[in-house]
Amino acid sequence: MTSEKSKTRLRRFGRYMKRNIVAYIVLTAAALFVLIPFYVIFVTSFKTQLEAIGVPFTFIPREFTLDGYANVLLRDASGGAMGVSTVLLGFYNTFKTVIPMTIVCLFTSSISAFAFAKLRFPCKKIMFTVLLASMMIPGIVTLMPAYLIYDSLLLTDTYVPLILPTMFGTATCVFFLRQFIMGIPDSLVEAAKMDGLGLFGIYFRIILPLCLPALFAQGILVFMGGYNDYFGPLIYLWSPEKYTLQISLMYFVGLYDKDYATVMAGCVISMIPLIVLYLCFQKAFVQGIATSGMKL
CB 112 within 8 A of CB 174: yes
Check residue 104 and give its pLDDT.
92
For 198, phi and psi rounded to 5 degrees?
Answer: -85, -175
Check residue 105 and give its pLDDT.
92
- Burial of 273 (C-beta count, 10 Å sphere; 0-12/13-18/19+): middle
**SS3 (DSSP) at 20:** helix
- Domain 86-290 is found in CATH 1.10.3720.10: yes
Chain Cα centroid distance, residue 4: 55
Check residue 80 and give its pLDDT.
47
From first to last of its 296 residues, the chain has per-residue pLDDT tens of 556 667 677 777 677 777 788 888 888 899 888 888 888 888 888 888 787 777 787 888 888 888 888 888 877 655 444 456 778 888 889 999 999 999 999 999 999 999 898 888 888 889 988 888 888 888 788 888 888 999 898 888 889 998 988 888 888 889 988 888 888 888 888 888 888 888 888 888 888 888 888 888 888 889 988 898 888 888 998 888 888 888 888 877 777 667 788 888 888 888 888 888 878 877 766 665 555 545 44
CB 258 within 8 A of CB 251: no
What pTM, to 2 d.p., does this model score? 0.80
Buried b (16+ CB within 10 A) or exposed e, 176-204: bbbbbbbebeeeebeebeeeebebeebbe
Check residue 108 and give its pLDDT.
92
Check residue 5 and give its pLDDT.
67
CB 201 within 8 A of CB 114: no
